[in-house]
Chains A and B, each alone.
Chain A
C-alpha cells in the first residue's frame, strides 16, 4: 500500500472513531439525570416553570443533535463554554490536563527506568535464577489493584515514615508516591515485554553477525539488539501512554491529584454536562490521537505494518 493512502486511511479511521466516541459520550451523559433539577437544589418551592426556565437558559431544551453539533464546533474552536457551576470549562481543563500528563509521564519514566535494565538482564540470563525471580515478581506486580498499592505506599511512606505527602499536588514531592504506584504497576507488564523483544532480537542473524565480527558484548547488546527491539518497545509504550491518560482516574482520586480523572468524577457527581462531556471527549480524543501517531510512526519506520 502506498504510504499516502495508508496515512489518509488511518486519518479517516481516527476521525470516524472520534465522532462515534463523542456521540456516544454526549448521548450517555444525557441519560444520567436532569441537571436542571440538580441546579434548582432540593428546596420544595421549585416549580415546573422554574425547571423549564433553567433548561431554557442552559440550552437543554434544544434538539439533541443541535446540542451535539454545537459541542463538536466547540471542540474544534477550543471554546468549550461554561461549566454549570465552576466557570470556564477550558480554564478547568487547562489546569487539570497538565497535572494528568505530568503524572502519566512521571509514571512512564519510573517504569522505563526499572523495566529496561531488568528486562535486558532477564533476557541475557534466560532460565536462570534471576530470570525466574523477575518473572514471578512481575506476576506479583500484575496481581494487586493499583489503588491498593497506592494506599500501601501512603501507609509506609507518609504515615509510618512521614517522608512524602500523602495527597494533593503542592510540590514535586507530591508526585513521588502516585508516580511510583503507577510506575510499579506498568513495570510488571513492561519487564516481560522488554524481555520477549530482547530474546527475539538476540537470536536474530544480524546479532550473530555482530558477535562473529568480534564486537564487544556491550556493543552487541546495546547497539544491535536493543536498538532493533526498541521499535516494538517504543510502539507498545506509546499505546500504553494513551491508555494511561484515561486510566489514572482511581489513582488521581486516591491521591487527591487535581487531574482530568478527578475533574471528570466531580463533574459526574454534579451532573455538570458541559464539563463532563468535554473531559471525557478530550480524554478519548487524546487516546485516539496517541494511537494514530504511534500507528503512523510505526508504519513509516516499518513498511510491513502498512499491509496488515
Chain B
C-alpha cells in the first residue's frame, strides 16, 4: 500500500515536471499575480484602517526600523505597507475593467468587421489610423480637463482608446477563418451568421485574444499609475500607487522609501502579468500573431 502512494505522488510530481506548467515564467508569474490578488482581496482584514490613519508623531519613519511600520511612513505618518496593499485595489480594478471593456467591445466590432467587411471594416481601419496618431497621455490630459479626474473616467478613456487593437487582431483572425472549411460547412448547413460568428469563428480566435488581454491588463496598470501620478485619476485621499509616487516625489531628497516601495509594488505586479502573458504566448500562439 505504502508503495503505491509514493508511486502516485512521484508520478504526480513527475507529471508536473514534464507539464507545460513547470516553467519559470508560469510559476513566477502565477505566484506574483496570485499573491497580489489575495493581498488585495484581504486588504481590509490585514489593515482595517485602510492605510488612511494619519499619525503626525510618526511622520517619515524610516523603513525596517519599527514593527508597526515595516516599510516606513509617509509625510503624514501613514503606514506605507498598508497604503501599498490598499492601493493595489485601484490598480487591479482599473487594469481589469479597462482591459475587459476593451476586449469585449473590440472583439464584437472586430468579428463583424472581419465577417461582413464593407463599411464597418473601413471605419475600423481608419479609426485605428486616427487613434495611432493621437498621443494617449495628451489626449487623456485634455479629456480629463473637460470631465474632471476620476477612476471611472480613466477606465472609460482606456476602453475608448484601446478597443481598436483588439478589433484589428480579431479582424485579422476572422479574415482567414471565414474562408476555412468548417466555416463553409457551417454556412452550407444554413446556420445564421450570428451563430457562425460566435460559436464557430470566435472560439478559434481566442488564443491571441487571451494573450493580448493579459498583457493589456499589465500595461493598463502602468498607464493608471502614470495618469494618477499626473493627478488625473483617484483623488489623493484614496491610497493608489500612482498617487503615492506623486506625493513621494517632493520628498525624494530626504525620504526615498516613500517613492521606492510603491514603484516596486507596481513592478512586481506588472512583471507577474507579463510573465504569464509571455508563457501564454509560447503555449497558445506558436506562430507569433501577437508579437
Contact = CB atoms under 8 A, between A and B. Distances in A.
Interface of A: 13, 16-18, 20-21, 24-25, 28-29, 31-33, 132, 136, 139-140, 142-148, 151-152, 154-155, 159, 196, 245-247, 249-250, 253-254, 261, 264-265, 268, 276, 280, 283-285, 287-288, 291
A146 B130 CA distance: 25
Given A13-B129, A16-B126, A154-B252, A143 B134 contact: no
Nearest to A13: B129
Of B133, B143, B270, most A-chain CB atoms within 10 Å:
B133
A20 B229 contact: no
A280 B138 contact: yes
21 contacts: A20-B126, A21-B133, A29-B142, A31-B146, A32-B142, A136-B24, A139-B275, A140-B271, A142-B218, A143-B268, A143-B274, A145-B266, A148-B245, A148-B259, A148-B263, A148-B266, A151-B263, A245-B135, A247-B135, A276-B142, A283-B135
B191 to A, nearest CB: 30
Of B132, B138, B222, B256, most A-chain CB atoms within 10 Å:
B138
Contacts of B139: 28
A288 B133 contact: yes
Nearest to B241: A145
B284 interface: no
B275 A144 contact: no
B39 interface: no
A274 B132 CA distance: 23
B230 interface: yes
B142 A287 contact: no
A136 to B, nearest CB: 8
Interface in B127-160: 129-130, 132-139, 141-143, 145-146
B130 to A, nearest CB: 5
B146 A17 contact: no
A134 to B, nearest CB: 13
Contacts of A20: 126, 130
Nearest to A245: B135
Of A16, A147, A159, most B-chain CB atoms within 10 Å:
A147
Closest 3 CB pairs of A and B: A246-B135, A143-B271, A143-B270
A24 B138 contact: no
A145 B225 contact: yes
Nearest to B230: A250
A249 B227 CA distance: 11
B161 interface: no
B178 interface: no
B253 interface: yes
Of A13, A29, A145, A283, most B-chain CB atoms within 10 Å:
A145
Contacts of B41: none
Given A139-B278, A140-B267, A159 B130 contact: no
A247 B139 CA distance: 11
Contacts of A18: 133
A261 B126 contact: no
B52 interface: no
Nearest to B263: A148
B135 A152 contact: no
B135 A159 contact: no
B161 to A, nearest CB: 12
Nearest to B254: A159
Interface in B213-255: 218, 222, 225-226, 229-230, 242, 245, 249, 252-253
Given A147-B229, A148-B266, A155-B259, A17 B138 contact: no
Contact of A24 (B130, B135, B222, B249): B130
A277 to B, nearest CB: 10
Given A28-B143, A139-B271, A159-B253, A17 B229 contact: no
A32 B274 contact: no
A151 B252 contact: yes
B209 to A, nearest CB: 20
Given A143-B270, A143-B271, A287 B135 contact: yes
A17 B126 contact: yes
Contacts of A139: 271, 274-275, 278
